[in-house]
Amino acid sequence: MLEWKWAYSLEILPRLLSAAVNTLIAAGIGYLIALVVGLVFALLQRTGVRPVTFIVREIVEFIRSTPLVVQIFFVFYVGPQFGIRLSPWASGMIAIGLHYASYLSEVYRAGLDNVPKGQWEACKALNLNPVKTYFRIIIPQAIPPSLPAMGNYLISIFKDTPMLSVIGVAELVHTATTIGTETYRYVEPYTLVGLIFLAISLPAAFGLRRFEAWVARYFGMTK
């Protein structure tokens, strides 16, 4: 029967915590990419140009219905085949950013669709150009109702970062596996990784619920 070694746990904890920082950085960068690219995906689907709408729609569907881990491998290994060498970090961020961009584009889409028609008509009546219409009038109104869903994907992206371990990004799971192979003890590293995830994602989920309530109050939305 196994025993839990406290001394060993304390010894590996600093390494795991610094890996946790990497995990958070990865989640943050991936999320930023997803926020921007997701908006681009959403806006491209509203251009009204049939081929563009169709192609972007299919790309989003494709990315959403295939496993992230395969996409990570794809981005990492396909580049070199054509002479483009990407670091594990770069390919990981591209893969995870694009994956979540396709999810976020759906969130934006729903948000944009929910802006009342009168707002569009008012913009037209005031002769605002499309850029002004979107960035001054429509998007600011589309964002608040979308915030809860956007927050959920931030937590999801955080929980999906362990997949980056498959191409050697030194995040939590990768570090735990490295420690495990060095010392032949897997109980403490993997258990601690699980606990670190809980320690971050549970408060984050709680904070998100508070934030949702605040958003609803602040923007005067009734649920």
Partner 1 sequence: MQSYLEYLDQHGSRFLDGTLITIQQTIIAGLLAIAISLVVGLMKLSSHKVIRWPAIGYIEFFRGTSLLVQLYWIFFVLPLFGITFEKFTAGFIAVGLNLGAYGAELVRGSIQSVPRGQYEAALALNMSPYKRMKRIIFPQALLIMLPPWGNLLIELLKGTALVSLIAVADLMFEAKQINGSTFLSAESFGTALIIYYLMARLVISPAMRAFEKYWAKKMGRFANHA
Which residues of this protein are in contact with partner 1, per CB under 8 A?
1-2, 61-62, 64-71, 73-74, 77-78, 80-82, 159-163, 165-166, 172-173, 176-177, 180, 186-187, 190-191, 193-194, 197-198, 201-202, 205
Is-contact 146 110, C-beta < 8 A?
yes
Q: Are 49 and 144 in contact (CB under 8 A)?
A: no
Nearer to partner 1, 61 or 113 (CB): 61
Q: How far is the CB of 197 from partner 1 (least distance, A)?
A: 4
Output the six-digit token pair for 157: 């992206």
Closer CB to partner 1, residue 73 or residue 120? 73
CB of 110 to partner 1, least distance (A): 14
Tokens 């927050």 belong to which residue? 151
* Least distance to partner 1, CB of residue 128, Å: 35
- To the nearest whole angstrom, how small is the minimum distance from the Cβ of residue 162 to partner 1? 4
d(CA 122, CA 48): 20
Report the chain's C-alpha Rg in angstroms: 21
- Residue among 112 and 172 whose Cβ is closer to partner 1: 172
Distance CA 176, CA 189 (A): 5
